[in-house]
Amino acid sequence: MSPAHSTGAALVNWPGDVDISTAGTYYMAVRRLSPDNGDDSAKAGVNGSEKDDNTFNGEATSWQWSRGTDFDLGSLSANTQTIQIRRREDGFCVDRVMIADSWSKLPANGSTEVGPDESPKYKLGDFDKDGDVDVVDLARQMQFWLTDESSVDIAPADAPDGIVNLLDFAIIAKNCGTATTIPPLLASNPSPADSAIGISTTADLSWTADPDATLHDVYFGTSNPPPFIRNQPDITYEPDKLDVTTWYYWRIDEVGAYGTITGAVWSFKTTGAGPG
């Protein structure tokens, strides 16, 4: 679940629930891409009820923000709300969603900005949003045992049944522990090893990638910082034949849904003689 701050804008972990801290009228923008341009669109809804007049058109061939044809999500009470998007055509792609209590806090239509940092993610059952499902959350659940308290009625997860019971306790037991959010990892384990000497002039470069990375930005050259070479999905890079007795510098930036994570600069020195 991701909180929507009533005093500012917040990105939603999409799709997911939004914790509204202050009741009021809220608005939504979507950072979307549509390869088919205006032929693709999507509709927004709240708590399973679609708003027929809230359509986000796919008029973009690059990632751009849209506020939709009706910016108003309606008046939301101060509790957990489920905001969803239904793609009307399969060409409508969603990168990020932003919820705010004012139009002015949302990106303008057509804006290509990335937006603010994503709101933190929490396990189901972390009622106090401290990053742990623990005895405090269990105590809150017990406080409303066998009642219809919606704030702790979390089971079944896709459609709570209106009573706090053993089904809800089972989710607390399952999720007991720390939050599931894991920060992105830097590229690691470079080959050739960092600061290695006597490296072959025909050496290939390889590294261990962040498991969630989808692409890798390769920087390589004889200067530090090294110049950008290319963006690629593979975790190996084969440079042209290298000069002898030369220091080379390289860096791998991991690219994923989280954005780009800048890696460390590694170096190695080639051998004094080329291959025989």
Query: Which amino acid makes up residue 45?
Result: G
pLDDT in tens, 149-168: 888 888 876 567 889 888 88
Rounded Cα distance, 265 and 248, in Å: 10
Nearest one of 197, 198, 246 to 220, comparing CA atoms: 246
Query: Does residue 222 carry a pLDDT above 60?
Result: yes
pLDDT in tens, 172-190: 888 776 544 455 678 888 9
Bridge partners of 2?
A: 18
Residue 103 DSSP label: G
pLDDT, position 69: 62
pLDDT in tens, 86-127: 777 666 777 788 888 888 888 888 888 887 766 666 777 888
Q: Can you name the CATH fold of 2-105?
A: Jelly Rolls (2.60.120)
Chain centroid to CA 113: how far?
A: 15
Phi and psi of 218, rounded to 5°?
-100, 125
One of 2.60.40.10, 2.60.40.3780, 3.30.300.20, 2.40.30.270 is the CATH number of 188-270, namely 2.60.40.3780
Residue 141 DSSP label: H
> Domains of the chain: which residue ranges?
2-105, 132-178, 188-270
pTM over 0.75: no
